[in-house]
Amino acid sequence: MSDEPQSHSTGLQGVLDALRVITVIGKGVVVLLVIGFCFSGVRSLDDSEMGIVLRFGAMHGEVRQESGPIIALPYPIDEIVTIPAKRLRTIKSDTHWYALTEEEERTGEDETATGTLSPGVDGSLLTADQNLVHAACSLNYRVTDPKKFIFEYGDSEALLYAHLDNLIVKTAAVRTAADAVGDPTGFGRQIIRGLNGLGLGIEIDSIGMNVEWPRLVKPDITRVADATNDKGRRIADAGSYGRRRENEAKSEASKIEFEALAWARELVGRTVADARTFERLYPKYLANPDVVRRTLYEDRMRRIVADASEIFLIRDSDKRELRIDLQRRRKPKKEAND
């Protein structure tokens, strides 16, 4: 009987010790929960984020744009919303693109289209010259004003997507099909100008536009483009040939003109020399005409005889011919350039 009170006391002490340990653990957990609750309003922003503090669901304070810790009251009093504003975001629009099969999407290669476009399946655009084209767009942007982007427009990304689709339609409506297909960069610039004017709190980084003819007529358009390019090449070749021939003709004309002027100067020089000789001999001729005539005659005959191989003398009385064969070797003429 004496052992029972001692055993009962030992069991009670064990229970008390267990309760004491549970109490200490419970207090520690409560302290940790209190500490965690107090620090639940602390977040750290990296370089690509902006932070907004919401108090009871409404924006409290200014947008935090610097990286580092941001402190707020614990939830549900305050809530910290982080926006990857400095990070590049991308949205894509293929509303106005033709439908692709799984095989085409997997391989990235379009099959030859047959039949006609299917309304509600194949997207398309009507251009200013009443032709159809397909367009797909990839837009890269950053959020620059989180307050406007998040709180003023609700689902801003869905709104941006809707505006992008509408601007694609409006831009195509004021451009010809050839202009839209041939200048996708200009097409994209016009869309960027339209988006910047909406004030959505974003900054457009770049836009990628792909504008194509319908697949049904693309082979014909390609042939027309090839023919147009060939026409332009042939016109350019003809122009080049014409300019070359014109330059050659001008060069030849300049050469002929130069030679004609040189010949004219030479002829004028000889004429002036002959005139001076005549002016010098004429007074002598007037003084002694027979002597001058005989002198000139003899000088001319010496020149003739010097180059003659045979001489014929005919007397006026009997008209008989006397032939004199000089049998001499003629001196070779000097070349013009010697």
Give pLDDT tens digits for 152-178. Answer: 666 678 888 899 999 999 999 999 998
200 within 8 A of 155, measured Cβ to Cβ? no
Q: Closest Cα to residue 147, out of 189, 94, 202?
A: 202
CA separation for the pair 273, 288 (Å, rounded): 23
Q: What band does 338 get if pLDDT is binned at 50, 70 and 90?
A: very low
Angle at 95 between CA 91 and CA 97, to 5 degrees: 110
Q: Where exactly are the structural domains of the chain?
A: 16-83, 89-100+121-221, 259-325
pLDDT at residue 264 tops 90: yes
pLDDT tens for each residue of 29-71: 777 766 666 555 566 666 666 666 666 656 655 565 566 566 6
DSSP state of 96: T
Phi-psi region of 73 (alpha: psi -120 to 50; beta: other; left: phi over 0): beta
**Main-chain phi, psi angles of 78, to 5 degrees:** -115, 155
Amino acid at 212: E
Most confident region among 14-18, 32-36, 140-144, 155-159 by mean pLDDT: 140-144
Structure tokens belonging to residue 77: 């009093």
- Quick count: other Cβ atoms within 10 Å of Cβ 127? 21
Contact at 8 Å (CB) between 85 and 49? Answer: yes
Amino acid identity, residue 80?
Answer: I
Mean pLDDT, the chain, whole residue set: 77
- Which tokens hold the place of 244? 């070359």
**Global confidence as pTM:** 0.52
| Partner residues linked to 90 by β-bridges | 140
Rounded Cα distance, 282 and 286, in Å: 6
Whether the CB-CB separation of 224 and 181 falls below 8 Å is answered with no
The per-residue pLDDT for range 292-322, each reduced to its tens digit, is: 788 878 887 787 777 766 666 655 555 555 5
Tell me which of 107-116, 303-312, 329-338 is least confident.
Answer: 329-338
- Domain 89-100+121-221 sits in CATH 3.30.565.10: no
